[in-house]
Structure 1
Amino acid sequence: MTVYHVVIFKFKTLVPEDEVQAACDRMLALGTQCVHPKSGKPYVKVHGGGRDNSKEGLQQGMTHPFIFEFENEEDRDYYVDDDPAHIKFKDSLTDVVDKVHVHDFSPGKF
């Protein structure tokens, strides 16, 4: 069953805009960098991401949301726990990200 993976960042206050942009570019590049260990092909579908522009004021300081899609929970679990490209990406955020929210869901499962 399809799994949507929603990640929202809050960058540290003094991080320069070019470093924020670079981190966002690296996040979006995971769609081609993450390769499935069995098929040898990219397995993460990136729906996009960018700077929040909601006018509701409910962001609680979170600024940059991203949406990824996985074919199933097994692929999502590999991505989260074992994918070397994802692990390298997470390690690159230490100095620039203050807070991360992650939400996963399968459509129609309540």
Structure 2
Amino acid sequence: MLAEANVETIQHRVAVTGPRAPVLIAQALDRLALDPRPAVTLLVRGGGPVSDFAVYDDPLVGIAIDRHRHPVVTGLGHATNTTLADRAAHTACITPTAAAQHVHL
């Protein structure tokens, strides 16, 4: 599907759970913000237990999204999950698939 859309992707893989995850996610967003190529940044993660989404309620993640130079689209979990990252994002989608569809990947 990406080949059909002729889209270049840049991935920054980071831990999405655990005590260091908020710092690592914020650092990855900051590194990506230095790259002039992206037109949009997707912050996505599939479903899981509600406790796993506390990472995205950490102020470090929200601040990194707020200062990001590119529009940020989140797709975190399922429709029932809403996080600080979703509120800080330019657009919050209900799933990672919905986020990709939103930016036409």
Is TM-score (shorter-chain normalized) higher than 0.5? no
Q: Report the structure number with the largest CA radius of gyration.
A: 1
Name the one with the larger strand percent.
Answer: 1
Name the one with the larger helix percent.
Answer: 2
